[in-house]
Chain A
């Protein structure tokens, strides 16, 4: 049942870009995203005997990542914030700003609107759309990641697409496409 070690490693590494991308969208921070991916890889390695045939490795890994994010969010909100001056946070934001600038150069300007629209969505909708439309997971896999029935994934996708279309119309320059 257990995937042999080198094979398992290779499969986890194959998913790294997708995991990091989702981590970035969840945390909105480079450092935290890296921590989260690293934590995910470690947990996957430790728990790989629990990986069952019923799900794909893709769905399993994304689920670990998202659950870890939820746990972190919870802990951070409920722990008294440290008085450590938050240097890592400031550095992280700087690095992030640099990276954002790079990305802006890499892709057509038009993408800025869709990113903004996605950021406006509730996390459950946004993650659903990112996994299904950007990372190319099947709807069944998305249901597995989100821990919800397939019908919920479908309705989230429909509703999110409606909202995205409306937001994109709102962002479009006045009168565009009308004349």
Chain B
């Protein structure tokens, strides 16, 4: 028996045509006798039709020509004509970083491939936060997070820092980092400074002995990229990356608060 709730949950998949024939038949017989679900289906179909009307910005012809030229010009060395000077330095740095991480770091040191991922996720979370704020921690309450992490993502977490009056947990998002399940949590302090904590399954990763900072009894690995400080430590099979834009004292306070709660 299909309930109305289950039926309505399936409707977007039904419209996408990604349900098994058996389930489609089952939904069909429910829909035949249920006015509420028929209404829901009609509304969803109407939305799909309207989404097909969404403006698709046509790409300018000269852009295609330039990129085609660029892709052909294998020995490209000069300045890409279209890239405006504003972005030039930035993209050069990014290209270098991509090349460097691909050539040097990937094989030798898995930890180093995760640090750019952690800073990227930090940036993404901050961007979302700045552009839209975050209405909530996620579809689950923050109290649910440790259970979600251990049961759904298989991460060895029994407790987490869930925020206090000084440091608020703004958001938590499950994500994939190099095909591994993980979660990123976003904290904001009273002055609006935002920090993120990335947790990811990493039994194969070892944190180097060098480059450690001493905070209380803890000695996390420390590195810095651009203006972002990154602290890395392991808890059982899990690697933790704390990313923040912070001075030494701020960083110590932040780390201790989060680390002691775990």
Please give, as numbers and ranges, the residues of chain B lying within 8 Å of A38 by CB-CB distance: 63, 66-67, 70, 80, 82-83
Question: Is there a chain B Cβ closer than 8 Å to A129's Cβ?
Answer: yes
Tell me, yes or no, whether B261 is within 8 Å of chain A by CB: no
- A74 adjacent to B132 (CB under 8 Å): no
Q: Give the shortest distance, in Å, between A103 (CB) and chain B (any CB).
A: 5
Chain A residues 69-93 with CB under 8 Å of chain B are 70-75, 77-78, 82, 88
> In the assembled complex, how far is the CB of residue A38 from the closest CB belonging to chain B, in whole angstroms?
5
**Could you tell me which residues of chain B, from 178 to 196, have a CB within 8 Å of some CB in chain A?**
179, 181
Most A CB contacts (10 A, CB to CB) among B12, B51, B70, B90 go to B51
Residue of A39, A74, A161 touching B47 (CB-CB under 8 A): A161
CB of A164 closer than 8 Å to a CB of B: yes
Q: A115 on the interface (CB 8 Å rule)? A: yes
B132 close to A110 (CB less than 8 A): no
Which residues of B, 59-104, contact A by the 8 Å Cβ criterion?
A: 59-60, 63-64, 66-68, 70-72, 74, 80, 82-84, 86-87, 90-91, 94-95, 98-99, 102
A157 to B44, CA, bound (A): 12
- List A contacts of B43 (CB < 8 A): 165
User: What residues of chain B lie closer than 8 Å to A110, measured between beta carbons?
Assistant: 50, 53
Measured between C-beta atoms, what is the minimum distance from A63 to chain B in Å?
A: 11
Q: Is B95 a contact partner of A43 (Cβ separation < 8 A)?
A: yes
- Are A161 and B91 in contact, with the CB atoms below 8 A? no
Main secondary structure of the interface of B (DSSP, over half): helix
Q: Is B166 located at the chain interface by the 8 A CB criterion?
A: no
**Cβ 8 A contact of A16, one of B64, B98, B128, B176:** B64
The docked-state distance in angstroms from the alpha carbon of A47 to that of B100 is 11
Cβ-defined partner of A17 (8 Å) among B56, B91, B127: B56
| A133 proximity list for chain B (CB < 8 A) | 48, 51-52, 54
26 contacts between A and B (CB under 8 A): A13-B67, A20-B58, A21-B56, A31-B84, A38-B70, A39-B94, A42-B80, A42-B91, A43-B95, A45-B70, A70-B127, A72-B90, A74-B126, A107-B53, A114-B50, A114-B51, A123-B127, A123-B131, A133-B54, A134-B51, A139-B16, A149-B175, A149-B176, A152-B175, A158-B9, A165-B43
| Smallest CB-CB A-B distances: 9 pairs | A20-B59, A111-B53, A24-B57, A74-B123, A9-B71, A122-B132, A133-B51, A114-B50, A41-B67
Beyond the given A20-B60, A38-B66, please list 19 additional residue pairs across the A-B interface where CB-CB is below 8 A. A8-B71, A9-B71, A17-B59, A20-B63, A21-B59, A39-B87, A41-B71, A42-B70, A70-B123, A70-B124, A71-B90, A74-B127, A107-B53, A108-B53, A114-B53, A122-B128, A147-B177, A149-B181, A161-B47
Q: Which residues of A contact B (CB under 8 A)?
A: 5, 8-9, 12-13, 16-17, 19-21, 24-25, 30-31, 33-35, 37-39, 41-43, 45-47, 49-50, 54, 67-68, 70-75, 77-78, 82, 88, 99, 103, 107-108, 110-111, 113-115, 118, 122-124, 129-130, 133-134, 139, 143, 147-149, 151-152, 155, 157-159, 161, 164-165, 168
